[in-house]
Amino acid sequence: MNFLVTGGAGFIGSHVCEKLLRDDHRVWALDDLNNFYDPQIKRRNLAEITALGKSFQYVAGDLTDAARVNELFASVRFDQVIHLAARAGVRPSLEQPALYQRVNVEGTVNILEAARKTGVKKITIASSSSVYGVNAKTPFAESDPIFSAVSPYAASKLACEALGHAWHHLYRMDVAMLRFFTVYGPRQRPDLAIHKFTKLIAAGKPIPVFGDGSTARDHTFITDILDGIMACTKREFGFEIFNLGESQVIRLDRLIALIETALGQKAVIDRQPLQPGDVPITFADISKAERLLGYHPQVKAEKGIPLFVEWFRQYH
């Protein structure tokens, strides 16, 4: 099949492209290689994908450029779209809220409309655990109320979910919304905690720790996320939302200890106050994904952190 992967040069997107290519699909990756983090990292990801020698094409383009998006969809008959491209991150969204709405919301409209006009019937879209906000109930289930976003990033992802439902309702498109829970692993973005902490600890520099270390996240290894995404491409749902997490909560201080052990070095802690937009915990109820996708995550943090550190040593 012909797959379009938006954000295909990024962390999750590059792994998705590789997996599709290894399964003998034809893949186009749409990415603008913006400077949210070093574009050279994304170019390296693209080089690794290209080295597979499969049917792969990188397409330079911005989601907000509707003409460019429409041109791409007109040039290739896509069977499915995996829409991962977005401006990511809670804290940066506080500084550039309009940019986040433009890229994440308007960009998603452009993708949905181009897919509709060219007869694409199936699209898988990345959402985020951030849509749950400060949720008093744990673990978080897809049926929980989600009207309490605490950051512009979370609000933009809520909007994307609503848009996905609207296009399903109006045009009968098959839409799966995937709420990712703190994904990590090889190629992880350098601004994310595990990568940032590993790099700083390895260099003997202080790591910024916001709060007392009691905040907790459901850290999910990239191979488990890939399994969930691929399962979505092989089934039809009409419209569904799925949590993709490890269903294992790791406190921040425990996470740091796991990185210290894997590196064989102690961290120097730079204690800072909690940041606006942060939530105290994320914790995925994955029973729906288990039931409908056959999703069964395999890599707990005790295994995943050493795997990431091993990649980090080779990468650097």
Residues involved in catalysis = 153
CB–CB of 3/78 below 8 Å?
Answer: yes
CB–CB of 216/249 below 8 Å?
Answer: yes
CB–CB of 151/158 below 8 Å?
Answer: no
Q: How far apart are CA 275 and CA 214, in angstroms?
A: 14
Kindly state the DSSP code that residue 130 receives in the 8-state scheme.
Answer: G
CB–CB of 50/9 below 8 Å?
Answer: no
Q: How far apart are CA 70 and CA 136, in angstroms?
A: 42
Percentage helix, strand, coil for the chain under 3-state DSSP, each rounded to 5: 45, 20, 35
At 36, list the tokens. Answer: 């949210």
Rounded to a whole number of angstroms, the distance between the first and last alpha carbons of the chain is 36
At 45, list the tokens. Answer: 């990801």
Question: Which SS3 state, helix, strand or coil, does residue 270 take?
Answer: strand
Secondary element (H or E) of residue 250: strand 250-251
8 phi and psi, to 5 degrees?
A: -70, -10
Q: Which residue has the tokens 């913006």?
A: 34
Burial 128-162 (b: 16+ CB within 10 A, else e): bbbbbbebeebbbebebebeebbbbbbbbbbbbbe
Q: How far apart are CA 167 and CA 125, in angstroms?
A: 12
